[in-house]
C-alpha cells in the first residue's frame, strides 16, 4: 500500500490493473483505516481518471457477494450523493414512476451517507425489504419490473471502507461509484453526479462498463439530480459516443422552483413525500420527479426527447401505475418475510 500511496502523492495516475490491485489491498484486513483514508484523500486531490474509476468498479463487482442472473433491458437511476442539497429521495420515487411506465428498474441504493435520509431508510419505512436474495431480485424484475438492491448486502467486504468514508465527512471516489457497482448487468442508466467537471469522465466510464445508452447529469445548483431551479447539464452516451446537452425545465413544459422547495427530512417525512408524489399531489416534489423520470425515459431510449419522457412520466402517475408498483413491491416484501418466518 505504501507504494500506491507514494504514486498518488506524486500525482501519478494508475492504469486499470494497478487500480484493481490497489483496491484489492484496501479490502484486506491488514490494511489500516488510516491507510484507507490516505488513499481516498490522495486520490481525490489528484483527480480520479476513467481508468481508475473503471478499475475500482470492476473489482468491486467481481468481489460482490450478490450475483444475479442476467436480465435483459434493465435500467438503474441513482444520484451519487455529496451535493449537500438535503433534497427528498428523488431517484427512489422516480424508480416507481419508471416501472409504471414499463421500464425494468434495478435500483442500487444505500442508507444515508452524505444526506439526511438514504433510499434504503425510506424503503424500509414503507415496508420494502432490504435483504432480498439474488433469486428474489430476479423474480421481482420479471414479475414487477422493479427491484431494489441494498448495497451493504451486495458488498459486504466494504464495511471498513464505508466506515472511513463516513468519518471523512467529505465526498470521495465512493460517492461517484456507488450507482455503478450494481451487480445486475445494466443496459441503460441515468446517473446524477454532484461534480459538473466529471460529467464527461463518468460518461466514458459508463461506456467502459458496457452501457448501451446513458445520461450523466448535474442539475441546477450543482445537484446530483435534475433540478427545476434552472439549467441542467447533461452528457448523453449513445453507441459509444458522447454529446453534451443543457436542458431547462421550460423546455419540458415544467415550472421553475427553487431547490429549497424540495428539501426533505427524516425517513418518515420523505416516505410521506414519496406517497404524495405517487398519488399525484401537485407541487415542486411532483414536478421534480416528473422531470427526472422524463430524462430517465430519454436516457433509456423509451422516448426520443425529454419532453416526451415528461408526458409519459405524468401518465404513469395519473393512471395509478406508479403507485401500483409501490404496492406490489411492498406486497412482495411481506410475502418474502413470511417465507423466512
Over the stretch 315-339, which tens digit does the pLDDT of each residue have?
A: 999 999 999 999 999 999 988 766 5
Q: For residue 337, what pLDDT is reported?
A: 66
Encode pLDDT of 246-291 as tens digits. Answer: 999 999 999 999 999 999 888 899 999 999 999 999 999 999 999 9
The pairing of beta strand 241-247 with beta strand 232-238: antiparallel
More confident residue, 302 or 114: 302
Question: For residue 315, what is its C-alpha cell?
Answer: 401518465
Which percentage of the chain shows pLDDT scores above 70?
Answer: 94
Indicate if the pLDDT at residue 29 is higher than 50: yes
pLDDT tens-digit readout, 97-131: 999 999 999 998 765 544 455 677 888 889 998 78
Every domain of the chain and the residues it spans = 1-63, 75-329
Question: Do 1-63 and 75-329 show the same overall fold?
Answer: no
- pLDDT in the model for residue 176: 83
Q: Which residues are annotated as a binding site for Mg(2+)?
A: 91, 224-225
**Run of H or E including 152:** helix 151-154
Domain at 75-329: CATH code:
3.40.1030.10
Q: Residue 161: CB partners within 8 Å, gap ≥ 6?
A: 26, 27, 36, 40, 174
Query: Considering only 2-6, 112-116, 131-135, 306-310, which range has the smallest mean pLDDT?
Result: 112-116
Residue numbers in the known binding site for 5-phospho-alpha-D-ribose 1-diphosphate are 79, 82-83, 87, 89-92, 107-115, 119
The region of weakest confidence among 25-34, 67-76, 216-225, 238-247 is: 67-76
Write down the CATH superfamily of domain 1-63.
Transferase, Pyrimidine Nucleoside Phosphorylase; Chain C (1.20.970.10)
Per residue in 162-190, pLDDT (tens digit) is 889 888 888 889 878 888 988 888 999 99
In the predicted structure, residue 341 carries a pLDDT above the cut 60: no
Whether residue 296 has pLDDT greater than 50: yes
- Side-chain-side CA neighbours of 334 within 13 Å: the count stands at 8
Helix, strand, or coil here: 54?
Answer: helix
Specify whether the CB–CB gap between 209 and 94 falls below 8 A: no
% of residues, the chain, pLDDT over 90:
68
CA distances from 294 to 79, 109, 163, 304, 311 (A): 15, 21, 35, 10, 7
Residue 174's alpha-carbon distances to 161, 197, 257, in angstroms, are 9, 16, 30
| Residue 145 cell numbers, joined | 419490473
Cα 261 → chain centroid:
22
Q: Please state the residue numbers annotated as binding site.
A: 79, 82-83, 87, 89-92, 107-115, 119, 165, 224-225
> Tens of pLDDT along 79-94?
877 667 778 899 999 9
C-alpha cell at 205: 466510464
| 189 phi, psi to nearest 5 deg | -155, 145
* 339, 132 contact by CB (below 8 A): no
Q: What is the pLDDT of residue 87?
A: 85
Binding residues for anthranilate: 79, 110, 165
- HSE-CB at 295 with a 13 A cutoff on CA atoms is 37
Amino acid at each position: 500500500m505504501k507504494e500506491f500511496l507514494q504514486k498518488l502523492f506524486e500525482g501519478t495516475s494508475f492504469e486499470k490493473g494497478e487500480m484493481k490491485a490497489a483496491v484489492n489491498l484496501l479490502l484486506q484486513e491488514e490494511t489500516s483505516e488510516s491507510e484507507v483514508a490516505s488513499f481516498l484523500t490522495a486520490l481525490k486531490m489528484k483527480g480520479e481518471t476513467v481508468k481508475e474509476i473503471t478499475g475500482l468498479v470492476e473489482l468491486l463487482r467481481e468481489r460482490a457477494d450478490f450475483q444475479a442472473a442476467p436480465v435483459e433491458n434493465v435500467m438503474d437511476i441513482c444520484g451519487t450523493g455529496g451535493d449537500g442539497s438535503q433534497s427528498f429521495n428523488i431517484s427512489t420515487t422516480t424508480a416507481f414512476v419508471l416501472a409504471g411506465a414499463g421500464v425494468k428498474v434495478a435500483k442500487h441504493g444505500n442508507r444515508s451517507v452524505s444526506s439526511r435520509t438514504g433510499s434504503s431508510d425510506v424503503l424500509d419505512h414503507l415496508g420494502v425489504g432490504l435483504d432480498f436474495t439474488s433469486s428474489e431480485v430476479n423474480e421481482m424484475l420479471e414479475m414487477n419490473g422493479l427491484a431494489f438492491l441494498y448495497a451493504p448486502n451486495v458488498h459486504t467486504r466494504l464495511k471498513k471502507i464505508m466506515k472511513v468514508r463516513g468519518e471523512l465527512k467529505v465526498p470521495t471516489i465512493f460517492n461517484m461509484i456507488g450507482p455503478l457497482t450494481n451487480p445486475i448487468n445494466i443496459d441503460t442508466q441515468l446517473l446524477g453526479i454532484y461534480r459538473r467537471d466529471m460529467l464527461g469522465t463518468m460518461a466514458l466510464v459508463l461506456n467502459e462498463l458496457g452501457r448501451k445508452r446513458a445520461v450523466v447529469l448535474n442539475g441546477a445548483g450543482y445537484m446530483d439530480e435534475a433540478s427545476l431551479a434552472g439549467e441542467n447539464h447533461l452528457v448523453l452516451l449513445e453507441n459509444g459516443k458522447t454529446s453534451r446537452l443543457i436542458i431547462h425545465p421550460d423546455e419540458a413544459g415544467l415550472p421553475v422552483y427553487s431547490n429549497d422547495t424540495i428539501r426533505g427530512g427524516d425517513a418518515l417525512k420523505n416516505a410521506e413525500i414519496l406517497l404524495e408524489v405517487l398519488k399525484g399531489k401537485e407541487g415542486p416534489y411532483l414536478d421534480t420527479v416528473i422531470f427526472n423520470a422524463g430524462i430517465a425515459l430519454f436516457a433509456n431510449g423509451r422516448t426520443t426527447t425529454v419532453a416526451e419522457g415528461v408526458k409519459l412520466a405524468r401518465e404513469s402517475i395519473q393512471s395509478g401505475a406508479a403507485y401500483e408498483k409501490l404496492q406490489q413491491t411492498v406486497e412482495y416484501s411481506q410475502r418474502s418475510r413470511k417465507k423466512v418466518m
